[in-house]
Amino acid sequence: MKEFYIDCDGIKLHAKLDRPDEKEKSPLCILVHGFTGYMEEEHIAAAQKAINDAGVSVLRAEMYGHGKSDGEFINHTLYKWVTNILKVIEYARGLDFVTDLYMCGHSQGGLLTMLAGAMCADDLKAIVPLSPAWMIPENARNGIVLGNRFDPEHIPDKVVCDKWELSGDYLRVAQTIHAEDAISGYKGRVLIIHGDDDETVPFSYSEKAVSLYENAELVNIHGTDHCFTGHLDEMTDAIRDFFGKL
Ligand code: FER
């Protein structure tokens, strides 16, 4: 494992690279956590190991305001994450051992994966959104953020919760994003993994996404929640299976 930082316009993004075999060329999958998440969360570390098991290197990266990357959580926006991931993809493309590139991300990182898929369709040969929170933009237009209400036409300075504070700019940015365009802009292979007991991101969004994508499959981890609690093995089996057959 190598641990380092990727520069993004003066912002340091914390990264870890795990290769199944240091001497061999291999495909590489970029892996991103969700909202308030980081790279050592159980479900992210489990996904990393499963991707490695399939002979694919993994570049885990923490986005603006998360984990050990620069930036304050309250100042993060989806545009900042998009700018971050473009740099991470550019970095990954430049690694001499890399054959094909893939991307996997959980929840808000799953939405980012969908956006990156369309923006970098020539680079990303397959994408794996996990419990993808692709309703964030639609919810923001309807004045909902993680179950909290705000006036979508008069954005507040911030939304304050027990566990986090979000800036008005997070909401302004989210309102401008159209995830359906990202879905129609990606023709590569897509694997969506989601639990049908997810209370954060309804499973129905993944059913809809898989029907809109040209080339997608959905694995339902029956009875599990947003982070696959108690069902990590089923999530990692689906990942291993998918990457093993690419
Ligand atoms: C929301 C629903 C889900 C939201 C964020 C999420 C910020 C993301 C959750 C995650 O990444 O785990 O309304 O608003």
pLDDT digits (tens, 9 = 90+) for 109-153: 999 999 999 999 999 999 999 999 999 999 999 999 999 999 999
Ligand 1 center to 135 CA (angstroms): 8
Whether pTM exceeds 0.75: yes
Please give the distance of CA 87 from its chain centroid, rounded to a whole number. Answer: 15
In CATH terms, the fold of domain 2-245 is: Rossmann fold (3.40.50)
Quick one: pLDDT band at residue 88, thresholds 50, 70, 90? very high
Mutate to test the pocket of ligand 1, among 63, 78, 146 (most ligand atoms within 8 A of CB): 146
Measure the CA–CA gap between 195 and 209, rounded to whole angstroms.
14
Ligand 1 center to 20 CA (angstroms): 32
Quick one: pLDDT band at residue 221, thresholds 50, 70, 90? very high
CA angle 221, 88, 44 (to 5 degrees): 25
Among residues 110, 61, 113, 54, the alpha carbon closest in space to that of 87 is found at 61
Q: Residue 102 half-sphere exposure, CB side, CA atoms within 13 Å?
A: 28
Ligand 1 center to 246 CA (angstroms): 30
Q: Which atom of ligand 1 sits closest to the CA of residue 106?
A: 11
Q: Which two tokens stand for residue 188?
A: 């590569």
